[in-house]
Every structure is written in structure tokens, then in C-alpha cells.
Amino acid sequence: MRSPAPRAVPEARRTPIARREARTAYLFLAPALVFFAVFFYTPIADILNTSTLTGPHADRFDGLGNYADAFRDPAARNSFKVTLLFAVGTTVGAIVLGLALALLANRQLRGRTLFRLALLVPYLTSIAVIGLLWQNILDPQTGILNRVLDELGLPTQQWLITHPLATIVAVTLWMISGYTMMLFLAGLQGIPQVYYEAATVDGAGPWRRFFSITLPLLAPTTLFVSVMAVISGLQAFGQAYIITGGGPAKQTDLYVYHVYETAFRDRDFGYSSALSVLLMLVIVAFTVVQLRAGRRGEVQY
Amino acid sequence: MSASDAPGISRRRVLGLAGAAAAAAGLAACGSGAPESDSAPGGGEDGTFTVYWNPGHHYEAYQKVIKEFEEEHGVTVRMQMYQWEELETRLLADLQAGRAPDVLEEPGGWAQRYALSGDALSLRKYLDEDGKAMGFPDDWQPATVRHNTHAGEVYGIQLHMTCQLLVYNREMFADAGVRPPTTWDEVVDVAKELTHDGVYGLQLNQDQAYGWPWMLQNGVLDYNHTTKKVMQPQDAAMEALQFQADLVHRHEVSPVPVPSKDYSAPQKALSAKRAAMIVTGPWDLPVIKQSSPDLEYGIAQMPTGRRQSTILAGTSMFIPKKAPRPDLSWDFIKRLTTLETELAATAETGMLMPRRSWAAKPEVKGNADIAAFAQGLTYAEDAHPQTYLSGKGTELDQAWKTLYQSVLMTGESVPSAYREYTDTARAIIAD
């Protein structure tokens, strides 16, 4: 026989103090709830509605037609593939570079604060500024990089033409690595020194200490960085909009840029809304998978 | 009670919420809802008259006329400046939100496109009343009237009328002992003579619109509304594409264009004396004069492929159907297109204008730069005369952009890129 499930405490049995605390909590939450309702939930509801409409004025009901079109559209598939590669590149790169920089910044160095600040500045700068900056640096004909390479007698580059996707991944990593470094640095400083001392006494070398102590105990930070990097990678826009215009020949047609072009160039708000909803579902799926995988990999000493 | 037992949100939950919030933020940002707005357009009630305009065309000559307009009607004109792409983004967001500016400038083709979608106001009523007095259509170049007409009704009035020609560095040409090319073969020969030591003979533009003069010279029509065929005749289209690709990849007389939204790279290269010749319009001349006052440039007519041609360009004004005060909007258009205003704008900037009486003025004929472009206008053509009728003009332009970038930038073979283009275009038209 099954035991009775625990019953929730009836509302009538709540004490006046509990009710007052609940009211106070909701009062404090109200501004945030209003903000989210106006700027997030209402637009999301509007997008869900618009995704079922079609025509230049998005005024004809089309059911799930836009969603069906999305799966048949080779341009949408291409932009999703490009974005997936971009997200993987920026996520792996952000973890590797961020961790490497954090290990450096965690050492006793002169000017350590300045070093950390210098690495964080790109993250604090707008993607519009960074895009224009790198566009001017990388331009094969007028960019400063080729002038420097030429002066040094080295072969010049045309990376925006020959490796456009890898180039915008690299620019993004230059931008975000300082931020991931700060996250890993906080994680490193949270690892008790006693573990390293014990391992050293047991004869563990630097690599063994890194792989057996540092890396496992940084798992929560790595999980957080990977979740945020995948999300921001899938939502990247400015790199295509500012630096490459999605080219050459759609090789950097990032998904959100494709959505923007569909809405504001092709004037297909219904279809672009459906593409947006699909992106949200993909992001949620990625996040759930990452969190579950991260949970299994957690280590505690 | 230990910390881990404490009620509240776990770290995992926080991460989950952070992920969900970020996803929601992205979705909200992608939406079609009303965009962020620094000002409401069409503010008829508060006496504000809203105009969307290109920042490159905010001339003193127009500001004087606008001041008179404000004084006569008791309104404040708010000129909101946007580059073309941002201007259309703003306009579409407005229309989606059920509002519109009083009047706007457009880079060509929009009046027909928005007429087709029912978002532009027919000017028939106004032209019936004022057309004769303002010399419309007789005093306007016929191409500019066709360019703004849909189903027999006029929806826009041309503001500027320009075309693309060869602009070159006279000193480099003199040093190499060459003259501006008049045929495609000469383009290659002259460009080869001029290409040396980091200087390119002819720099092609990354913007796909700049590929059209060569296509037109081979008699290519990008869309035929009767046959529903794209980029025909096929052999002429492929030959013109191959010619451009060869300039970059075979003869190496042009650098590989770099993908970007900026179409000023050739102008910058000419100004920096790293390109001897470019294809551009009169809008680049003031920039060249300002950035390189010592550069002596020349303007040559476009060479001849199967025929002589170049792309007809220039901006128009139209009134959105939802404009709050169309009568005022029409008066605004009339004032900015008088012969007197056209001449003042030309004197100030060198811009070319659509009136026939403007072209006949001695001050226009006497200016060498303007006269050269005015000659170009005699054979310039609308590159996309029927495309808007497909209702898929922007999608077809995106497909053309991919084709242009494939052959010029990535070096894909012309037959392969052309086949991909036609497959894509057919699917777009059939959709």
C-alpha cells in the first residue's frame, strides 16, 4: 500500500507573518515582473503569433507553414550550419583560452591587475566598434596587419576572403576571452590550497595536479562558461552584420543575421518569427543537454 | 543547517534560469514587434513633420527650402538620417507597427516595390492638380518617370539622377602612356599596364550593385516578368561574369573584393593612389577631392561590351500610404524638386538631377565633371526594370549577391555559380 503523499500547507493555515512576507516578496518582484512582461514575454507572445502568419504585412494565417518552410529552406539550413560551427568554435576557444589566461593571471606577476584589466577591455567594448576595428586591421589592401606582415617580409593574408568563418570566430574569441578568464580566475581562487599541498606531498607533478585537481574542481565554472558561450554563439549577430555582411557567398551568414535579413530585407516577418522560435528551441535543448552532462561530470573532494 | 540544505535556488537552477533568460532575450530581440524608437514618426498632432533621409544628401540647398516649408506651414521638420539599409529597417518596423513617416527618400526601386505591396500612396491626385505647373512628366527624363511608375500610376518623384562611369588617376595614365579603355579588351590591356608595385589597374567593388554596368553592357536582363526567367541571355550573363572574374583571378588587375557592407573601398584605394581606375558615380567625387586634393582625376565613359551601357542610379521620394498628412508631404516633394533647388544642389555638391531643363542649363553644361556624367545618362539603364513585379526583388538581389561574391571573391567557376544562382532564383520566384 502506498503511503499518502505529503499535503501542501493550506492557505488558511499560513500565519499572518508568512502572508505579509509573501506580499512583501511579490512587491519587490513586481518591477522585475513588469519589466520582463513588457520587454520579453509580450514580444515573445507576439513572435509566436506572428510565426503563424504570412505575407508582406504578416496578416494571413498560415498555421505551421512557416515552420515547414524552415526545414525545407536551404538558406536557413546553411545559416544554421554556419552558426553551429561558429558556436562550437567560440565555445571551445573561450574555454581553452579563458582557462589558459586565468592560469597565467593567477600567478604572482608584476602588473597583474593591469594584465587582467587589459584582457577585459575588449569584452566591455561594443561589437560595432570591435567589428569596425578588425575590419580595418584585416583589410587585405588597406589594413594595418598586411602592412606589418609586408614590412617583416612575411606573406600577407586575405583571411576575410579565404577563412571568413574562422576569422570572425577569432575576433569573437579576442573579444570574450577576457571575460571567461575572469570567470575561471574566480573558480581557481575558490579551490582550497590544501589540495595542492597534499598532492605535492604525495609526489604529484604540475600536470597531474592540473588534471586531477584544477580541472575537475573547475567543472562548475566550465559548465557555466560553456552554457553561456553556446547561447551567445548561437545568438551572434554583429560579427556578420558589421564585419562580413554574411559573405563571402553566405559563408558567414549567422542565423540571427539571416533572421534579420529575412525580416527587414525580404519583408517576411512571419517566416523570420518562425526561425526565431526554432532558434529558441535549439538554445533550450542545448542548455538542457549541457546542464545534464555537466551534472554527471561534477567532482567533489 | 548546512548551506547545501538551505532552501532557495540551486546553482544548477541558476544556470538553467540564466540560459532560459538568455534564450528569451535572443528571441525577443529577433521579434517583429515594434522596434526601439527614439522618436515617433508622423507626429501630425504635435506639429512635427517627419522625413527619413540619407545623411549624404542633407544639402544646404535643401535646408533652405525646408526652412521656408516650416515657416509657411507652421511645422517643425525632423530630418531623421539613416543609411539605406537602416532606413528600410526603420520603415518596415514602422509599417508593421501601423505608422509611417510623412515622406522619405529612397535609393531607387522602392516606390514601385511599396506600391506593389500597397504601402505607397499614388500621386495621381496631386499630379492631376500640379503636374503641369511643375513640368511633370514632360520636364523629367523619361527613365525617371518609368522608374517610379507602377500599373500606370506614379508613386514617386525622382530627386537625383546619376550613373556609374570610369573615374581614373590622370597622372598614372600619363605615366603609363595609356588612354581610358573603350572596349572590354582595352579594359584588360590598360589595367595590365597600370598594375604594378601594389597599385591595381582597376579595382572592382565588393557591392554587387557595381557588377551591373558590365552585365548591362552585355544586354543582360535580370528578370523577365513575362517568361519568369532570370539573368538572360545565359551566354551573355556568363560572359559578363567571367570577364569580371578574370579581372580579379586571371589577369590579377583588381584585388579580390572583401566582403563588407562598405562600398567605399575602391574610392579609398583611388584616393590613396593604390588603384588607377574605379567604377563609381558623382557621389564619390567630393570625397576624392576632400581626401586627396592633389589627385588629378579624370572621368571616362563606360567601355562597350556588346553595347555601351551603365547603371542608372539616383534617389526618389515617395509618400507612405499611412503618412499622416499627405497634402503636406506632396508640398514638401514639390519644393525639393523645383529647377531652382536642383541647380542650387548641383552648385553645392555636383549632384546630377532628373529635369531636362536642368541638363540644358549653361552652368551644368559648362562643368566638365557634370557634363561627363550627363553624357553617361544618355545611355544609362535601369538594371532591374521588371524585378519588382516578381514581388521577390530583395530575395533575387540576395541570390545575385551570392553569385557575384562566389565568382569574384571565392573564385568559384562561373558555370557552377550561375547554375546555383538560377536554381535558387527559380525557387524564389516559384515560392
B206: nearest Cα among A253, A254, A168, A246:
A246
Q: Can you tell me the distance from the alpha carbon of A95 to that of A190, in angstroms, rounded to the nearest whole number?
A: 18
B427 - beta bridge partners?
none
Find the range with the poorest average confidence among A147-156, A213-222, B38-47, B180-189: B38-47
What residues of chain A lie within 8 A of the CB of B406, using their CB? 248-249
Q: Hey, what CATH topology would domain A65-296 get?
A: MetI-like fold (1.10.3720)
Grid cell digits, residue B159: 530627386
Q: Are B392 and A234 in contact (CB under 8 A)?
A: no
For residue A300, the model assigns a pLDDT of: 66
Which residue in B has a C-alpha nearest to residue A280's C-alpha?
B23
For residue B28, what pLDDT is reported?
Answer: 45
pLDDT tens, A6-30?
555 555 567 889 999 999 999 999 9
pLDDT of residue A112: 82
pLDDT for position A12:
56
Of A245, A13, A202, A291, nearest in space to B16 by CA? A291
Q: Do B405 and A47 touch (CB under 8 A)?
A: no
Q: Are B394 and A266 an interchain contact pair (Cβ–Cβ within 8 Å)?
A: yes
At A278 the pLDDT is: 98
Identity of the residue numbered A25: A
CA B9 → CA A34, A217, B17, B249, distances in Å? 21, 21, 10, 60
Q: Minimal Cα distance from B91: which residue of A?
A: A264
Residues of chain A contacting B392 with CB distance shorter than 8 Å: 266
* pLDDT of res. B35: 37
Taking each helix axis from N to C terminus, what angle separates A42-50 and B11-29, rounded to the nearest 10 degrees? 60
Q: Could you tell me how many CB contacts below 8 A there are between chain A and chain B? A: 169
pLDDT of A53 reads: 97
Quickly state the pLDDT bin for A301 (edges 50, 70, 90): low
* Cross-chain Cβ contact A261/B410 below 8 Å: no
Task: Test B27 with A260 for CB contact under 8 angstroms.
Answer: no
* Residues A188/A102, Cβ–Cβ less than 8 Å: yes
Asked whether B418 and B236 are in contact (CB, 8 A), the reply is no
- φ and ψ of B135, to 5 deg: 80, 20
Please state, in angstroms and as integers, the Cα–Cα distance from residue A294 to each residue in A86, A102, A227, B15, B17, following that order: 21, 21, 10, 11, 15
Annotated domain spans of chain A: 65-296
Residue with cell 539605406: B84
Q: Is the dihedral of CA B205, B210, B213, B218 positive or negative?
A: positive
Q: Does B25 touch chain A (CB under 8 A)?
A: yes
Convert the pLDDT of each residue in A123-134 to its tens digit: 999 999 999 999
User: Which pLDDT tens digit goes with each residue over A93-110?
Assistant: 999 999 999 999 888 878
The domains found in chain B, sorted by start residue, are 48-161+314-360 (3.40.190.10), 163-312+383-430 (3.40.190.10)
Taking CB atoms and an 8 Å limit, are A245 and B261 in contact across chains?
A: yes
DSSP B36: P
Q: Of A165, A182, A169, A162, which Cα lies nearest the Cα of A93?
A: A169
Q: What is the pTM of this model?
A: 0.88
Give A140's contacts in chain B (Cβ within 8 Å): 255-256, 258
Please identify every stretch of chain B with a pLDDT value under 50, giving residue numbers as ranges: 1-39, 42-44
Q: Choose among B15, B23, B33: nearest Cβ to A43.
A: B33
Q: Is A296 exposed, middle or buried (0-12, 13-18, 19+ CB in 10 A)?
A: exposed
Say whether B258 and A141 touch across the interface (CB within 8 A): yes
Question: Average pLDDT for residues A39-62, to the nearest whole number?
Answer: 95
Inform me whether the C-beta atom of residue B304 falls under 8 Å from chain A C-beta atoms.
Answer: no
Per-residue pLDDT at A14: 77
Residue among A57, A164, A266 minimizing CB distance to B259 = A164
- Look up the ipTM and state it: 0.85
Report the pLDDT value the prediction gives residue A245, as an integer from 0 to 100: 94
Which residue among A246, A277, A284 places its CB closest to the CB of B20? A284
Give the Cα separation of A174 and B347 in Å (integer). Answer: 48
Distance CA A88, CA A91 (A): 5
